[in-house]
Amino acid sequence: MTYVIAAMLVCIAADAFLYLAVRGMAQRSALKAKNDLLSAQIDRQKEHYAALTAQYANIRRMRHDIAKHLDTMQALLQSGQYQAAAAYSNEVSAQAQVQAHLGICENPIVDAYLFSRSQELERQGFRVQLRVLLPEATGISDPDLIIAFANLLDNAAEACQTDEDRTILLTAAVSKGFLTIETENSCAQPQAKKRRIPELERGIGFSIFQELARKYDGRFSYHAENGRFTASLILKGASLAQHCDL
């Protein structure tokens, strides 16, 4: 009987060990897959950030040519070439219109990204309202800022893409050394409480916010109330800002 009990205990212990080992392997595999997806998404957004940096540098150089454009139009008008002056003015205006909102915020990278992304969302039928208070230097890396703004806007767009009210409000303000970025949008359907598949983009976005909050001693929170969904990301390390409205 003693041998039987001992054998049963050994079998139970072996089963428990096997269960824990399999569960650990599954958890590690899921974590690796999630981390790979996080890394891939962050890499894509950093590439976007690099492209925007180059784009903004080109735009800054273009602005130095405004005086030359004015001189050219004045010369055409003085020589009576009114149609040529009008055509030249329209051409210059068309080039400038694409970047009409760039340069309003003090941080050129965030300024460029918000302009680009808001234009893209508006083409998709969203109404985007931006109210941002952001200095050039925040104490937060530009890539991390872009990752934060990008995922907040993406999540807001996903949440209200099937609603009649597709308005997205994005605010950012600095107070007492903390930067608070917040989005508000409609959510006709209650936010599902069921466990999300890690591979879903929005779930990944939430994980990114939590990582940023840990990195910058901040906090990420969200809630739904009266048909509105609000997400708030607080990051430490920002300096004083000047007001910026887009």
Question: Which residues sit opposite 186 in a β-bridge?
Answer: 228
Instruction: Name the helix (H) or strand (E) containing 6.
Output: helix 2-63
Whole-angstrom Cα distance, residue 97 to residue 234?
33
In a domain, 74, yes or no: no
Domain membership of residue 226 as a residue range:
2-64+101-245
Instruction: Name the helix (H) or strand (E) containing 172.
Output: strand 167-175
Residue 101: its pLDDT value, please?
47
In a domain, 168, yes or no: yes
Whole-angstrom Cα distance, residue 200 to residue 44?
16
In a domain, 77, yes or no: no
Q: Could you read off the pLDDT of 47-66 as tens digits, one per residue?
A: 666 766 776 776 676 667 77
Residue 187: its pLDDT value, please?
82
Which residues, at least 6 apart from 40, have a Cβ–Cβ distance to it below 8 Å?
none
Residue 107: its pLDDT value, please?
82
Tokens, residue 175: 């107070």
What is each CA distance from 35 to 16, 29, 32, 201, in whole angstroms? Answer: 28, 10, 5, 13
Residue 230: its pLDDT value, please?
94
What is each CA distance from 202 to 3, 169, 173, in whole angstroms? Answer: 55, 18, 24
Residue 9: its pLDDT value, please?
67
Strand bridging mode 219-225 / 243-245: unpaired
In a domain, 39, yes or no: yes
In a domain, 57, yes or no: yes
Domains identified in the chain, total number: 1
Ranges of the chain whose pLDDT falls below 50: 98-103, 191-203, 238-246
In a domain, 115, yes or no: yes
Q: What CATH number is given to the structural domain containing 131?
A: 3.30.565.10
Q: Could you read off the pLDDT of 163-185 as tens digits, one per residue?
A: 888 899 999 988 888 999 999 99
Phi then psi for residue 163, to 5 deg, are -85, 155
In the chain, the amino acid numbered 144 is D
